[in-house]
């Protein structure tokens, strides 16, 4: 069964450093998303991406964040200057909305630890 994959599974970085989290969505999916989950809190939407541009972003997704689909298979989230409060699980998701459906399939996540 096709699945969303994410690398790395765990990333440790120093505050102020740039990180890039990578995702390979399901191959025939057209919509891509990033969510994050701070330990003990709910899963929160960050950004949605379609047709090579951002469709919607949350207030969390400020100028320190960017997304890119550099080729036909990868989807990346970049955090330019990490803060301690960026420590969280980051989940990539993808979907192929058809009429009446919009199910999103999630990857296993990247645990980001900012020291």
Q: In the complex, which residues of this chain contact other proteins (CB under 8 A)? A: 4, 31, 33, 35, 41-45, 48, 50, 55-56, 58, 89, 91, 95, 97, 100-109, 111
Smallest gap from Cβ 106 to other proteins, in A, equals 4
Query: Is the Cβ of residue 35 or residue 75 nearer to other proteins in the bound state?
Result: 35
Tokens for 54?
């951002």
Residue partners of 67: CB distance under 8 A and separation at least 6: 32, 34, 47, 49, 54, 75, 76, 77, 78
Local structure of 32: helix, strand or coil: strand
Q: What whole-number distance in Å separates Cα of residue 30 and Cα of residue 66? A: 18
What sign for the dihedral angle of Cα 77, 81, 82, 84? negative
Query: Is the Cβ of residue 11 or residue 108 nearer to other proteins in the bound state?
Result: 108
Smallest gap from Cβ 4 to other proteins, in A, equals 8
Query: Is the Cβ of residue 87 or residue 95 nearer to other proteins in the bound state?
Result: 95
Smallest gap from Cβ 99 to other proteins, in A, equals 10
Query: Is the Cβ of residue 14 or residue 101 nearer to other proteins in the bound state?
Result: 101
- What's the number of CA atoms in the CB half-sphere (13 Å) around residue 78? 10
Smallest gap from Cβ 103 to other proteins, in A, equals 5
């Amino acid at each position: 069964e096709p699945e969303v994959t994410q690398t790395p599974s765990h990333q440790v970085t120093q505050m102020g450093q740039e990180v890039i989290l990578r995702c390979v969505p399901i191959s025939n999916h057209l919509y891509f998303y990033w969510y994050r989950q701070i330990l003990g809190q709910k899963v929160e939407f960050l950004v949605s991406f379609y047709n090579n541009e951002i469709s919607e972003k949350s207030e969390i997704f400020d100028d320190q964040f960017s997304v890119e689909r550099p080729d036909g298979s990868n989807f990346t989230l970049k955090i330019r200057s990490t803060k301690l409060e960026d420590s969280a699980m980051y989940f990539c998701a993808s979907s192929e909305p058809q009429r009446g459906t919009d199910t999103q399939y999630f990857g296993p996540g990247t645990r980001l630890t900012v020291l």
